[in-house]
Amino acid sequence: MSQVTVVGLGPMGSKMAETFLAAGHEVSVWNRTASKADPLVAKGARRAGTAADGELLVVSQISYQAMYDSLGDARLDGKTVVNLSSGTPAELRTAARWVAERGGTLITAGIMVPPPGIGQPGAYTFYSGPKDVLDRHAGLLGALSELTYVGADQGLAMVYYQAQLLVFWTSLTAHMHAMALMRAAGVAPQDYLPYAQTLFTELGDDGPMGYAKILAEEFAAGVYPGAANSMHMQAAGLGHAVDTLIEAGVETTVPGALKRLFERVVAEGRGDDGLGTVIESIRKP
């Protein structure tokens, strides 16, 4: 049995504390609104006197500023702070220095499931920071999810985390546009769903539609063959898709922005290149 203090008892932090308890660990809990700890205390957690109470602090708050506010002037000598809050990579690197100045070590993390998925098969978390410190607590943290270590630079966990969220949000927003378009044509979402599921799967596969891999390979090589999918063709096709959405009375903010990006690629003189060349315009706004 290991001891852990969970700081921040919103939906994510509360579920983490419950999961640690269920795994047989000794759990202390702390929240700025103290009453939020009551349900967990009733389940066997100990109410921590301060946010810095304990040798291992697992933080799940709305921002890194919340961690600063919660820990205040407390010394963190010998303590490990594992922070699963969201922020920018630069914020996380600054936070690592802040914790170090107080005698502690920061491990940064981005958990890639919503609260109900914590502790469930398939859950994983990106971690960065000193690997030897993470390894000391791997058994306890493994109760939450699989540990995916991405490097010593404390900013890297958030780079991976935000990259995954960009794919998640934009892919699912595109799916919502597609369903809205189908509904406008009288097609039920469930009737369209199998085709969306097939496309999502194919994009991650190794076949001819496996564009996640194709684009990664092209970007690594810096070569974007366009004989079969030139940007002239892609920009025209996307223009037709946006026109179809307008015709159907569907909102077009995101598809319209994508159309302007494709048109910019062509205007920059890369209309004969393939789809992968879009990343060069993304990198140089």
Mean pLDDT of the 179-191 span: 97
For residue 285, what pLDDT is reported?
A: 85
Read off the pTM.
Answer: 0.93
By the 8 A CB rule, do 6 and 31 touch?
Answer: no
How far is residue 237's CA from residue 80's CA, in Å, rounded to a whole number? 52
For residue 137, what pLDDT is reported?
A: 98
Phi, psi of 13 (to 5 degrees): -65, -40
Q: What is the pLDDT of residues 74-87, one digit of tens each?
A: 999 999 999 999 99
Q: With bands split at pLDDT 50, 70 and 90, how would you rate the model's confidence at 90? A: very high
Q: With bands split at pLDDT 50, 70 and 90, how would you rate the model's confidence at 261? A: very high
Q: Which amino acid is at 210?
A: G
By the 8 A CB rule, do 54 and 1 touch?
Answer: no
User: Mean pLDDT for the chain?
Assistant: 97
Mean pLDDT of the 242-267 span: 98
Which are the contacts of 166, defined by CB distance < 8 A and separation ≥ 6? Answer: none
> Count of alpha carbons within 13 Å of 145, Cβ hemisphere only?
23
Compute CA distances 180 → 212, 250, 256, whole Å.
25, 7, 15
- From first CA to last CA, the distance across the chain in angstroms is 51
In Å, how far from its chain's centre is CA 48? 29
Q: Which amino acid is at 80?
A: T
By the 8 A CB rule, do 145 and 109 touch?
Answer: no
Q: What is the pLDDT of residues 221-253, one digit of tens each?
A: 999 999 988 999 999 999 999 999 999 999 999
Indicate the fold that domain 3-151 takes in CATH.
Rossmann fold (3.40.50)
By the 8 A CB rule, do 106 and 158 touch?
Answer: no
Mean pLDDT of the 92-111 span: 98
Compute CA distances 278 → 43, 205, 275, whole Å.
52, 21, 6
How far is residue 277's CA from residue 218's CA, in Å, rounded to a whole number? 9
Q: Is the pLDDT of residue 1 over 80?
A: no
Compute CA distances 232 → 215, 246, 271, whole Å.
18, 21, 5
User: The tokens of 251 are what?
Assistant: 């909102």
By the 8 A CB rule, do 277 and 265 touch?
Answer: yes
Please tell me the CATH superfamily of domain 161-283, with its number: N-(1-d-carboxylethyl)-l-norvaline Dehydrogenase; domain 2 (1.10.1040.10)
The percent of residues in the chain predicted with pLDDT above 70, rounded, is 100
Q: Which amino acid is at 97?
A: R
Compute CA distances 226 → 117, 123, 183, 239, whole Å.
41, 38, 34, 18
By the 8 A CB rule, do 28 and 79 touch?
Answer: no
- Could you tell me where in the chain the CATH 1.10.1040.10 domains are found? 161-283
Beta bridge partners, 4, equal 27
For residue 149, what pLDDT is reported?
A: 98
Torsion of Cα atoms, 84 then 90 then 96 then 101, to 10°:
-140
Q: Is the pLDDT of residue 135 over 80?
A: yes
- Could you tell me where in the chain the CATH 3.40.50.720 domains are found? 3-151
Phi, psi of 112 (to 5 degrees): -100, 35
* DSSP assigned state of 165: H
Q: Which residue is listed with tokens 């809205």?
A: 180
